[in-house]
Amino acid sequence: MARINPEFSDELKKYGAFDLNACYNCGNCTAVCTLSDEENSFPRKMVRYSVLGLDGDLEASLDPWLCYYCGECSTTCPREADPGELMMSLRRWLTARYDWTGLSGLLYKSLPASIFAFLLLVVAVIWFAAKQQFDVASIMHYGHFFEMAAITLVFALILLPNIIHMWWLTIYKPGIKAPLSAYFKSLEDLIVHMFTQKRALGCDDNQFRWFEHFILVLGYLLLLFTTVFLNWFETTNLFVIILGYVESAIIFVVTFDFVRRRIQKDQAISKHSHPSDWFFVIWLFLMGLTAFTVRLFIDVDLLETNLWIYLVHLIILVQWALIIVPFGKWTHFLYRSFAMYFHRVIELKG
């Protein structure tokens, strides 16, 4: 029998802004959603599950990840219940459910906790720089080492166990028996969705937003590769130097546009901004901008006398790698890709 959690709507409210009581179950939202179909009928089903407090069914569902938040359902809801924002809130809630550390939930629900975590890392970086006697070469050396260590450890200790937990909740626990071959055959879907998010093209009038996301993901992954594996800040290879400039510029130009839209609230999807949305776009913008500036200071020989710019970049990087990537909105990129993968596995199970 389905478990009912009477506290669920109060709990979910901590993850976003919407009015569950306003919904009168008309089904308009599902009718207008171009990504919804008979097998994956949302968002109305998700609204119903949320109203009834069926948190067990919600945590077993991949539907919240199949929504790309075009906002069409919210615009057409006659009761202004904002089902698009409900789907977004469910994604945040699910992120917290998958996370074994419990930190995602804490940071999503508590702004003071998030601010404390960000400040703690500011102090940690400055303390570390002081231990290095503010020596540029030494701090940059450890900064580069940190990038490599953070990628490995965050993936191995946080993200991988959380993906396995997601699989356990959505496939193993509901008793879905898929052959091993289905997991292999679906790998292509995982890669394609991770790099292209092509399903978002199914949303009406979404082409430009899809293109912005696509070049942002590309720019971000390439900059990661260029700084970590090609050691952008220390290389003398002209091609790599220019490549890094282009990648970092893509990041801060595109994210500047995201920040602008969130400030202007000119679309349904930017009407409500949770603190985690702000952290994500602002930190990504600052990552691109400070990386670009650090390399510029290196090229015009000003970094030695302006260590502060590298320290600002390092603080942003450390906060990004230890807060936003493992526990914040960055995880949506990963969980959505794996949701598409598991969805395909379920389709193939026969």
Please name the residues in contact with 347: beta carbons below 8 A apart, sequence gap of 6 or more. none
CA nearest 17: which of 103, 90, 70? 90
Whether the Cβ atoms of residue 15 and residue 50 lie closer than 8 Å to each other? no
Q: In this chain, which of 5, 28, 231, 235 binds ligand SF4, going by CB under 6 A? A: 28
* Least distance CB 63 / ligand SF4 (angstroms): 9
**Helix, strand, or coil here: 132?**
coil
Q: Which stretch binds ligand SF4 (CB under 6 A): 7-15, 27-35, 188-196, 221-229?
A: 27-35
- Is 71 or 326 the residue whose CB approaches ligand SF4 more closely? 71
* Least distance CB 41 / ligand SF4 (angstroms): 10
- Name the maximum alpha-carbon separation found in the chain: 68
Q: Residue 267, interface with ligand SF4 (CB under 6 A)?
A: no
CA nearest 85: which of 64, 101, 102, 99? 64
Q: Residue 160, interface with ligand SF4 (CB under 6 A)?
A: no
* Least distance CB 67 / ligand SF4 (angstroms): 3
**Angle ∠(44,346,193) on CA atoms, nearest 5:** 80
Whether the Cβ atoms of residue 326 and residue 154 lie closer than 8 Å to each other? yes
* Least distance CB 49 / ligand SF4 (angstroms): 12
CA nearest 251: which of 196, 289, 280? 289
Q: Residue 43, interface with ligand SF4 (CB under 6 A)?
A: yes
Tell me whether residue 300 is exposed, middle or buried, using C-beta atoms within 10 angstroms of its C-beta: 0 to 12, 13 to 18, 19 or more. exposed
- Is 35 or 176 the residue whose CB approaches ligand SF4 more closely? 35
Q: In this chain, which of 8, 15, 16, 33 binds ligand SF4, going by CB under 6 A? A: 33
**Locus of tokens 């993906």:** 163
In the shown chain, the binding pattern of residues 180 to 209 toward ligand SF4, with x for contact by CB under 6 A and - for none, equals -----------------------x------
Q: Residue 12, interface with ligand SF4 (CB under 6 A)?
A: no
Q: Residue 72, interface with ligand SF4 (CB under 6 A)?
A: yes
What is the separation of C-alpha 49 from the centre of its chain, rounded to a whole number of angstroms? 24
Q: In this chain, which of 44, 262, 274, 332 binds ligand SF4, going by CB under 6 A? A: 44
Q: Residue 90, interface with ligand SF4 (CB under 6 A)?
A: no
How far is 77 from 30, CA to CA, in rounded Å? 10
Q: Residue 68, interface with ligand SF4 (CB under 6 A)?
A: yes
- What are the structure tokens assigned to 125, written together? 């970086």
CA nearest 323: which of 41, 3, 106? 106
Q: Residue 35, interface with ligand SF4 (CB under 6 A)?
A: yes
Q: Residue 71, interface with ligand SF4 (CB under 6 A)?
A: yes
- Provide the sign of the torsion angle of the four alpha carbons 59, 61, 65, 68, taken in this order: negative
- Is 232 or 335 the residue whose CB approaches ligand SF4 more closely? 335
DSSP collapsed to 3 states, 81-106: CCHHHHHHHHHHHHHHHHCCCCHHHH
- Is 83 or 244 the residue whose CB approaches ligand SF4 more closely? 83
- What are the structure tokens assigned to 154, written together? 């965050």
Q: Residue 64, interface with ligand SF4 (CB under 6 A)?
A: no
Q: In this chain, which of 79, 144, 165, 261 binds ligand SF4, going by CB under 6 A? A: 79
Q: Which stretch binds ligand SF4 (CB under 6 A): 33-41, 166-174, 305-313, 336-344?
A: 33-41
**Using CB under 6 A as the criterion, which residues of the chain lie in contact with ligand SF4 when the complex forms?**
23-29, 32-33, 35-36, 42-44, 47, 67-73, 77-79, 81, 83-84, 87, 203
